[in-house]
C-alpha cells in the first residue's frame, strides 16, 4: 500500500509548511510518497496550494511524487516529462497519468483507488484505514495523517 503525505503532512495539517521543500523532504525521508501542488509560471515549476510559493527543487525523487497540476501549463509540462500527475477540482474521481483513480474525499473507494483524505469522513477510524483500503484493493492512501495510518 502506497502511503502519500498530503502536501508533506504526516501528523496532521500544517498549512504554514505544506508544499515547502524541507517539509516534503522530511516526509520522503520517512519513506512516504508525497502529494504536491505544482504550478508552471514563466518556465519555472513552483509549489504551493493556493498560489506558487516555493521553486520546485530538482532533487525531489520524481518516482515518489503525486503532482496535482494547478494550471494547464503545469499539467502539460508534467505529462511531457512523465511525472505522475493529475488535475482535479471537486471531481468525484480523476485518473492520474499512471492510471490510478484519484478519489475525492468522501467518495466511495474501490479497486485501483487512491483513498484521498479518509480523515474528512468523521465516521472513519484512522487505525482501520489501512485494513479497509487493502480489503477493497486501493493502491494508496493520501492523508495528512499517514504516520498514524501506517502505525
pLDDT, tens digit, 9 for 90 and up, residues 49-95 = 999 999 999 999 999 999 999 999 999 999 999 999 999 988 999 99
Mean pLDDT of the chain: 97
- The model's confidence at residue 112, banded by pLDDT at 50, 70 and 90, is very high
Residue 143 is predicted with a pLDDT of 99
Q: Which of 16, 80, 23 is nearest to 50 (CA)?
A: 16
Residue 131 is predicted with a pLDDT of 97
Residue 95, domain extent: 2-150
The whole-angstrom separation of Cα 141 and Cα 90 is 18
Residue 29 is predicted with a pLDDT of 98
- Our count of domains for the chain comes to 1
pTM value is 0.97
DSSP 104: P
If phi > 0 it is left, if psi is from -120 to 50 it is alpha, else beta; for residue 114 that is beta
Mean pLDDT of 33-41: 99
Chain segment 92-107, per-residue pLDDT in tens: 999 999 999 999 999 9
Proportion of the chain above pLDDT 90, given as a percent = 97
Residue 90 is predicted with a pLDDT of 86
Chain segment 119-136, per-residue pLDDT in tens: 999 999 999 999 999 999
Q: Which of 105, 106, 107, 96 is nearest to 139 (CA)?
A: 96
Amino acid at each position: 500500500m502506497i502511503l502519500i503525505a498530503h502536501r508533506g503532512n504526516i501528523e496532521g495539517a500544517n498549512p504554514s509548511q505544506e508544499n515547502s521543500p524541507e517539509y516534503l523532504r522530511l516526509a520522503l525521508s520517512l519513506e512516504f510518497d508525497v502529494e504536491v501542488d505544482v504550478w508552471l509560471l514563466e518556465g519555472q515549476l513552483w509549489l504551493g496550494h493556493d498560489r506558487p510559493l516555493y521553486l520546485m527543487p530538482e532533487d525531489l525523487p520524481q518516482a515518489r511524487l503525486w503532482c496535482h497540476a494547478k494550471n494547464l501549463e503545469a499539467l502539460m509540462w508534467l505529462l511531457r516529462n512523465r511525472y505522475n500527475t493529475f488535475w482535479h477540482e471537486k471531481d468525484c474521481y480523476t485518473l492520474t497519468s499512471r492510471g490510478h483513480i484519484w478519489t475525492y474525499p468522501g467518495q466511495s473507494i474501490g479497486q485501483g483507488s487512491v483513498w484521498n483524505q479518509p480523515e474528512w469522513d468523521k465516521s472513519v477510524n484512522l487505525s482501520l484505514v489501512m485494513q479497509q483500503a487493502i480489503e477493497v484493493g486501493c493502491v494508496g492512501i493520501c492523508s495528512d495523517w499517514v504516520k498514524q495510518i501506517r502505525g
